[in-house]
Every structure is written in C-alpha cells, then in structure tokens.
Structure 1
Amino acid sequence: MDTLVFLGTGDAMGVPRVYCSCETCMEARSSGDNARLRSSVLIDNGSDFWVIDCGPDWRRQMELQGRRSMRRLLVTHPHFDHIGGLPEWADSCRWMGYRGELYAPAEVIPVIQRQYPWLGGHIDMIPCDGGLELDGWQVRTWRVNHGKNGYSYAYRLEKDGYAWVYCPDSISLGPEETKHMHGADLLVLGTSFYYESAELSTRSVYDMTEAAELLDIVEPVRAVYTHMSHDVDMRKDYILPGNVTLAVTGLKLQLGHGKG
C-alpha cells in the first residue's frame, strides 16, 4: 500500500514569516509546532516515489526525508511556492545523470518554461490533461478557481478502488469544479485561514469555515487541511468537522483500504 507524506503544509509565505512577531510565528521559531514549509506531498510505493509540487523549500524537504534523488513530479500551477524549487531539482538531475519527468497541464508548461528557460536541458515536461498513470494510480486533473490569483489545478487519483483528491489552492468552487471530488476516500484541501475576514474578491484560498461547507457537498470519507498561513495556530482547538485533520510536516497516511 502506498504512503502519502506531507513534506510541507504552509501557504505561499510559510511559517514563520520573517517580518512577523505574532504568537504563531514566535512559537514556530521556538518549539516549532507551527513551523510550516511550503505545501507539497510525496507518494511512496515502498521502492520509489513521486511528488506533487516543488516549491522553494524542496531541498530542505528532501533532506528531512533522507531523499537524495527525485525523478518524477506533478505540478498544480506555476506560482513560486509550487515551482520555486525546480532549478535545484534540475541541478540534481544533472548531477545524478538522468532526466526528470515533470507532469503538468499543457497551459502550465509554457509558464514554467518562460520562468526557467534552462530546465528543458535536464527535465522533460509532459502534458497530463488527458490523464496519466503513475505507479498504478490513474490520475485526472482539472482547472479550479484560485480567486484573485487566477487558476490552479486539482488532481484525483484512483487505484485498487481507493480515490483521493489533492487541491491545495482553490476557492468558491462551483459544481463543475467539484464534480471529481465527490465521494473521495481522502480530500487534501488548502485552507489558509480558519476564518478570513478580507473581501472575497481579494482572496485566493478557502478558509476552514468555508471548507466545511464544501465537505458537506462533496462528502469525502476523510479530509486533511494544508496550505495554512500563520493565522492557524496548531495549539488552538478549532471547531472542525469530525473527519478533518490539520496536516503537519511529516504526517503519513496510508492510501488504501487496508489497515493502518
């Protein structure tokens, strides 16, 4: 059975924010319960692995997991907190002597190439709009609303009767955007705040109160919230649906219907 590992669970700025002295950031600098690298996950089949998103904390995330090479990557969208580690990955591929495989929706790839035009020397960029298979996982992707930041993509992955969805950056999703989320065994969803009071037009990611309403619609068996800002303090007792867990760095979940 494959294992899902949370490499990072923070929003675009991570926690602590260098300029901030709020209680959450100060705690993150000491005991570190709130320390959060940029959001990314790793899927381990026991003999090999692949990763979703490669932000600027990629090198540290690999070191924390004791990983020395990475061959395959899915990308949700071309914002810096999701692709900022690509130059380091490309350099790793160069020194290890193999070409990396980067899978992304077709309209995302040119944006990455404009940002890092040299990556093609070490990484193959492969469109995945029509779906793909990775280690037996049937992978489907679709575009989701990212609010003021434009758009992102979500992934639904199915294998041996188990389905899970990864959607770190989205807000105000309509029926067409949520139709592939329904009935998943696991939904990993980005929620930057517990409650965000800013005007909706200025926002880009669900808060946890809105996410609870989404869960009522798509009804996953279990949900894990990620992509959390310094608004979220892991020491607090938030009111959350009973099937929700807040992700922490290193959290491991079994992707399947077996025990554990």
Structure 2
Amino acid sequence: MDPCPFVRILVGNLALRFPLSTKPSLSRIHPSTSPCYCKIKLKNFPHQVGSIPLIHANTQNPESCNFSLQKSLAACFSLSKSQVDRIILKGDSSYKLSMEVYADPDGSTCGLASGKLLGKVTVPLDLRGAESRPSVARNGWIDIGRNKSNKNGSSAQMFLTVRTEPDPRFVFQFGGEPECSPQVFQVQGSVKQAVFTCKFGFRSSSDRNLGSRTSLPESNTSRNWLPSLKTDKDQSAKERKG
C-alpha cells in the first residue's frame, strides 16, 4: 500500500533589519540590542514562536552572513490530505500564513507575553499540487511596519523563507487485544491492511498443565545445586589446610 500524502509548511531563515538611525527608535527599543521574536500563525493550528536575529541594515542576503541562517527552521506545520483538500475547495486566497513580529526591550518575555509589536506579515499559500512537488511561497525581504521616527520613512524589514513540500508517511494503527492477539494495520484513508498479526495462548488446557509441571523440576534442580556447591567448598578448604 502506498504511503499517505501529507504536506509540510516550513518557515525559516528569519532575519530582521532596521533602517539606519542615530536615535533610539520605537519608544525605548534600540534596533541593535533588542531581542526580537515572532508568533507564526496558521488557521486551525496552535501558534508557534520563533526568534529573529538582527543583522546590519545594509545586508541584502542574510544567508551570506555569519548567522548560520541557511538551515534555520522557525516553524513547521503538517497537513493531511483531507485538510489540504478542504483548503483548496475553499479557495487559495482564504488560506494564509500570518506572522506578528515583536521586540522585547527587557529580554524577559521570550514569546510568553506580549512585547512591543513591530508589525505583521501575511504570506498567501497555494497548496495546489503541494502533495507531489515542493514550492516556495516566499523567499526575500518584506516590510513589517512604518518607522515614523526615521525621516526618510523607511520601514523595518524581515527576511523569511516559506515553502511547502510533500511529506508522505506510512500510517499504522493498533488493533485487537494487545495482551493476547496484537495486530498492526496500515491505514490509508478508509482502507486498512493488516501488516502484522500475532496470537498468544495455549492450544488446550493440557498444554497449560504441562507448562506448570515442567517448571517444577527446574526449580527443584536449582535448589539441589546448593548442597553440591557447599560440599565442593568444604572439600577445597580441607585441601588447602592439608
């Protein structure tokens, strides 16, 4: 049986840069020292929190920096085929990934409480064909809000990569009575196929009695070893004395 089609939505390579400014911006939040984080949200999923490193304002491609962002993953959402089908039926425009970017002046919230909201980002997701081929929904800089304290009106920007990729899986389900007849089924939609079955038990009551009788001589034999061991020790002690 073929694996079940799943789709993963991956968010990573996050970086944040502020416009050049000689004064502290965004109240008492200084762009060069404040830790920043984001809440990544997808409908019908719990939100996930990811940290965002700050980079120099003149940096064009954060992947070329020494921040090791090439393989950084901030969030991952997994969708089943039925979920993907429902989203496609409703229309691609109705399903989006949203991100709220925060700065924490004191470095104490760490995403557990609300810091200073810097801005929001929305990325539309097109899941058509996502079960069979990877796709990049966003890869680059995006404005997250207007920086009013800067005279030229430039805004803070965040770099992010959002992509979808197929994630086929084999789904298994346990059945039967695990203590005497465990069974494992491979599941694909409404179809179940047994891949492992095992049954424990005695064929008859005589087998049960035979098992109990055969265990007795073994226990008696183990007890009979003790006197022989004691005799051997006494004999070796006498030889050493002699």
What interval of TM-score do these two structures reach, taking the shorter chain for normalisation?
under 0.3
The structure carrying a bigger strand percent of its residues is: 2
Higher relative contact order (CA 8 A, sep 6+): 2
From the CA coordinates, give the structure whose radius of gyration is larger: 2
